[in-house]
Amino acid sequence: MTTVIENTSEPSTAAATQTEDLPVVVYSPESPLAHPGKLVREVFSDLWRCRELIWILFQRDLKAQFRQSYLGYVWLFLPPVMTTMVWLFLNSQRVISVGDTGIPYPVFVIIGSVVWQTFTKLITSPLSSFNAGKPVFMKLKVPPEAFIAAGTARAVFDFILYSAVLIPVMLVFQIMPPWTILLVPVAVLALFALGTALGLVLVPFGSLYSDIQQAIPVLMGFLMYMAPVVYPPPKEGWAALAISWNPLTPILMGMRDFITTGSLQHLASILMLLPLSCLIIFLSMLVIRVVMPHLIARMGM
């Protein structure tokens, strides 16, 4: 009898030890906003804890896109190149009349196309990545920020490949970059921050209503002509007013100037947009974390 008692007590002791090692999850009706400091720490600690998952998701999405593609990564170069070729053809055939750009028109268009394609991907990536991760974080305790971060990392990777197109174009037109090219990283950071901020704002609404995700490509196709992507900004009229208020305009024009002319005209606007966009990113991440239980409840209905 003694032996039996000892044998049964050992597993119970081991089970108790294992139970003590497991993390304890406490559910409370109290809003996370009651402890904002704790909420901020949770968001950033989850991102750091899931850094390996973010890398795995990034690699998976990148490989999955070109797994059955013959040309592979060549397709990543085509969007800015094709946009440039179309507008060069229209301009050469006098179908459109573009004003003085100050730099060779192919250089003007290719820089604008690279910036615009990247901006579009940064806006669409958070929502599409969030929706793609729904089946996972609705069932498992995985932070949705991991999927969003992986999508944003993919947009950054695409930008690096897009930028490689600029090198041969600059060589062909014999453009020697001025010293202001050292300021390009500032404009790039502002571009990443602005696109990601706008994309994160759309996540809570786009996760509930698929119309938003469907409308983004259509809207971005129209908004491309409300930015100086393929033509210089007009001096007067309603178009001039709309373009001047477009937050992408100083980033786009500033990046062109930093690479080609050396002008610092748009530097002040870029320096104002960068911290403002970062603040919107920070607040949007907190909002997503707070409303996440309600989103899961609505999406599960």
State pLDDT tens for residues 184-195. Answer: 999 999 999 999
272-294 b/e with 16+ CB inside 10 Å = b? Answer: ebbeebbebbeebbbebbeebee
Alpha-carbon gap, residue 114 to 252, rounded angstroms: 10
Our measurement of the distance from residue 260's CA atom to the centroid of its chain's CA atoms, rounded to an integer in Å, reads 26
Question: What mean pLDDT is predicted for residues 17-44?
Answer: 56
Computed on alpha carbons and rounded to an integer, the radius of gyration of the chain in Å comes to: 25
d(CA 65, CA 68): 8
Q: Which of 30-34, 184-188, 197-201 has the lowest mean pLDDT?
A: 30-34
Across 50-70, average pLDDT:
76
HSE at residue 154, side-chain half, CA atoms within 13 A, is: 27
pLDDT bin (cut points 50, 70, 90) of residue 51 is confident
Higher pLDDT, 238 or 88: 238
Rounded to the nearest 10 degrees, what angle do helices 144-164 and 184-206 cross at? 140
Contact status, residue 173 vs residue 256, Cβ threshold 8 Å: no
The whole-number pLDDT of residue 62 equals 75
Work out the average pLDDT over 80-96. 70
The 10s digit of each residue's pLDDT in 109-164 is 888 888 998 999 999 988 888 888 877 777 777 788 888 888 888 888 888 888 88
Q: Where are the domains of the chain?
A: 36-299
DSSP assigned state of 124 = H
Distances (CA, A) of 93 to 3, 87, 188, 229, 287: 97, 10, 33, 19, 50
**Number of other CB atoms surrounding residue 232 within 10 Å:** 18
Mean pLDDT, rounded, for 173-199: 91
77 C-beta neighbours (distance < 10 Å), count: 15
Report the alpha-carbon distance of residue 191 to residue 189 in Å, rounded: 5
The region of weakest confidence among 28-32, 44-48, 150-154, 294-298 is 28-32
pLDDT at 6: 45
Per-residue model confidence (pLDDT) at position 294 = 73
Tokens standing for 127?
């929502």
pLDDT at 299 over 70: no
**Exposure of 110 by Cβ count < 10 A (0-12 exposed, 13-18 middle, 19+ buried)?**
buried
Of 30-34, 177-181, 225-229, 269-273, least confident by mean pLDDT is 30-34
Residue with tokens 């060779």: 104
Summarize the confidence of residues 75-86 as an average pLDDT. 71
CA distance linking residue 205 with residue 291, whole number of Å: 11
pLDDT tier, 179 (very low <50, low <70, confident <90, very high otherwise): very high
Q: What would the pLDDT profile of 214-230 be if each residue is shown by its tens digit?
A: 888 888 888 888 888 88
| Residue 268 in this model has a pLDDT that exceeds 90 | yes
Structure tokens at 134: 């729904």
pLDDT at 273 over 70: yes
Place 254 in a pLDDT band, splitting at 50, 70 and 90. very high
Q: Which two tokens stand for residue 262?
A: 């050396």
Answer with the residue of higher pLDDT: 50 or 299.
50
